[in-house]
Amino acid sequence: MGKKWRWGVILDAGSSGTRLHIYRWLDPAKAAKDASYEELHSLPNIVTKDKWTKKIRPGISTFGDHPEDVGPDHLQELVERALDVIPEDKHADTPIYLMATAGMRLLPPTQQRAVVTETCSYFRANTRFSLPDCDKHIQVIPGETEGLYGWIAANYLLGGFDNPEGHAHGKNHHTYGFLDMGGASAQIAFAPNATVAEEHGNDLKLLRLRSLNGAPKEYKVFTSTWLGFGVNQARERYVKTLLDEFLIDGEHEVPDPCLPRGLRTNEKGDYVSGSSKELSLVGTGEFDECLRRTKPLLGKDIPCDDKPCLFNGQHVPPIDFDINHFVGVSEYWHTTHGVFANKEDDTAYDFNTYQKKVVEFCSQHWEEIDSKVQSRKKDHGKEAQEACFKASWLISVLHEGIGIPRYGIDHAPTPGINVTKEVGEAAKEKGFLNPFQAADEIDNIEISWTLGKMVLYAAGQIPPKDNYLLPVGFGSNVKGIPPDFQHAGSSFNTTSAIDDDDDWSDTAEDLIDHAKSKSTSGFFFFVIILLFIAFLLRKRDRRMRLYGKVNKVLRRRRRPGSPRKGGLGLSVITNKLFGRGFYNYERVLEEGDADQFELGEASSDEGDTSDSSNGRARAGRSSGLATPKLNVEDFDDLKKNPHPGSALDRSGLVVRTESRERLFPQMLTAGRRSRAGSPTRLKSPLIGSMSEH
C-alpha cells in the first residue's frame, strides 16, 4: 500500500456492544500538493467503507468481573478485522483507540481500570498499531467529550466547517447542534449564539481544528451529558415505578400502557407466554397514558442550582432554536425510523406526523403487529416490543426536556427569522431546515462520535501556518493553551515525501475491491481497461515500477498456497511492455533473491524521492534509466589483464558486457542498434556467485 494514505482505528465501547471503526485519509503533504483552493481551506477528507465497521455484543462493561477475558472473548474478532483491512506496512503508523462510554461509566472505578488495563495489554501483545500511551488511547471518556466528538462529526459531514456561507442560519451562525442517545446516557452539544456565548463563556469548550493550509478553525461549544437518561436506563426506572404502584402481593400481572395491547413481557422486556406464572407486564396500548407516565422521569422538578436548566437540574445555556438546528443520532434515529418508517424515509421530523404514526401503531393488538414484523429482520420483533416506550421517551426528552419546538404547532422561543428562508442552499440540500432532524448517515458515512475523534487526529497532522502555532485539540474557553487542554494525539511532519506511483497502486487496489463487489463481469472488465490504458500512458520506467507494486497487491490478495493463473499470458504482455527478460527479473524478486543485487533506483521526472529499507538514499540516473553498480576494485589491474567478457570503449575505459538476462530490462535496448551486430558474449570471470556481491 502506498505512502500517501494515513489510517486510524477506533473502537466505540458502548453499553450494548463494541463497534469497530476504521478511517483513512490522505497524508497532508500529498493532499496539499494536489488540493484546490477550496480544499486547502477545508479539513482533511476522511473516508470509510461499510466493511471497515463491525459491531459485536454485549458491551465491554460485562467483563468487569473477569477482565482477563476481554481480549480473547471480545476484542479478538474486531482486532482481526482491523489487521485484515489495514496494510501490514502501515500498522506501526496507525493509531488505535478504544474509548468506552456510558456502560463503563456505571462500573466501579476498580473494574473500569482492570478492563482498560487488560485491553491495552491485549492490543500491544497482538498488534503493531501505534499505542504510545495507554491512558490516552484506552480510556473511559466523559459524556461531555463524547458529545463534543459527535458535534465535530455532524458538522464535518454536513459541511458547516468548510462552507460557512452555504450553511448560514442567521446571526452569523453556521454550525448545527448535536443530540445523541444510547442505552445508558444522552448528550447535547451546540455552539450558542454570540450573546449567549459572551454571557456563558465559562460553560463553553474551546475547540481548535486546522485546515489543510495550516490555518486554525476555532469554535466555542457547550456540551453536557445526562448519565442514566439513555433509553434502557429510563425504561428500568419506568418499570420500577409501575411495579411500585400496581404490583399486589400474590399477583403476577401489572398493566403497562407503553406496550401494545396483549403483549406480555417480563421486567427485562423478554416475551412471556400467557400461561406463564412469572411476573408479567401486560400491554394496554394507551399511548397518551404512556406519555403521561414517562414525563416525570425527566426530573423537571429537581432544583436548578445554576440557572438556566433543562431537566434533572442540569445547567444548559439558553438555546436559540432560530439558528440552532439539531441533528439527532443513535436512538433518535432508530426510534423515529425503526418500525415507524423505512430508512429511505428521510423527511424532516414533524411532531404531528410522528405522534400520529406512534398512536396508530401502539393501539394495535400485539398479534396483528407480530404478524407484520415476522417477515422482516430477525430482531425486528424485539424492536416492535420496545417501540412505544422509546417513542414516548424520545418525545418527552425532545419537547419537554430540551424544549425543541413542536414543528408545525409551537413557535420558536425567539422568533424573528424564517428558518426556511434564511438557511443556506447547502443546508437545504441536506434537508436540515427544522429545529430537529434525525439522521443516521450523511453522504453514506455514519454520523458517529468516533469520526469526530479522527477528524481531530487528522487535523493535528497538518503543519501549522507561520504564526499559528497553537495546537489542535480542546479545553477550557481561555486564551492560549489551558491546563486541561486535550491534544489531538497526532504530530505533524513538514518533510513528508510522497511517491506518485503509490497513487496508482492504491487506486488499483480500490478499483479491484470495487469490482469484486459488483455482480457483473462487465464492470470488472471496464475497470481493467481503464487501468490498462492509464498504465500504457506512463513512461517505461514508471510502468516497470508500477507493475511491481500492483503485482504485490495482487499477490497479497491471493490466498497462501493457491496456484498462480495466467502466468504465460502475463509474461508475454510484460515482455512486450518492458522488453525480454523482465519476467525473469520479476521471478527473482518473488523468490526472495533480490537482496543479492544492488541496483540504482530510478528517479522520476518530478524529482520524487524515497528512502531505501536500510535508510540509505539511492538515486538513479537523470535519464530515468537505472543501471547496475559496477563493482571494480582496481582499474589498473583490469587495464593490464582484461578478462574475457570485458571490453574497452573508445576512451579506453573497461566496460562489462553481461548477458542481457542479468541486466536491468530497460538497458537492454539502450545504445544498441540491433542484436545481430552484437559480438559473441561469454560469461565474465568478474561475475562471481551472487553471494559474493
CA distances from 677 to 2, 231, 305, 652 (A): 43, 86, 99, 21
Helix (H) or strand (E) holding 583: helix 582-590
**Residue 449, helix vs strand vs coil:** helix
Q: Which positions ≥6 away from 637 have C-beta within 8 Å?
A: none
Write down how long the chain is. 693
Q: CA angle, 119 as apex, 60 and 63 as ends, to 5°?
A: 30
What sign for the dihedral angle of Cα 243, 400, 257, 288?
positive
Instruction: Kindly name the residue from 118, 146, 509, 586 that is annotated as catalytic.
Output: 146
| Torsion angle defined by CA atoms of residues 418, 421, 425 and 427, in that order, rounded to the nearest 10 degrees | 30
Any catalytic annotation for residue 146? yes
Determine contact, residues 631/693, Cβ cutoff 8 Å: yes
Q: Coil, helix or strand for 285?
A: coil
Helical packing angle, 501-516 and 521-536, nearest 10°:
170
Q: How many other C-beta atoms lie within 10 A of the C-beta of residue 244?
A: 8
Q: Output DSSP code: residue 613.
A: T
- Which phi-psi region, left, alpha or beta, contains residue 21 (left: φ > 0; alpha: ψ -120 to 50)? beta
Three cell numbers written together for 608? 520524487
Nearest Cα residue to 236 out of 206, 269, 265: 269
Measured CA to CA, the distance from residue 652 to residue 647 in angstroms comes to 9
Cell numbers 481503464 correspond to 530
Active-site residue set: 146
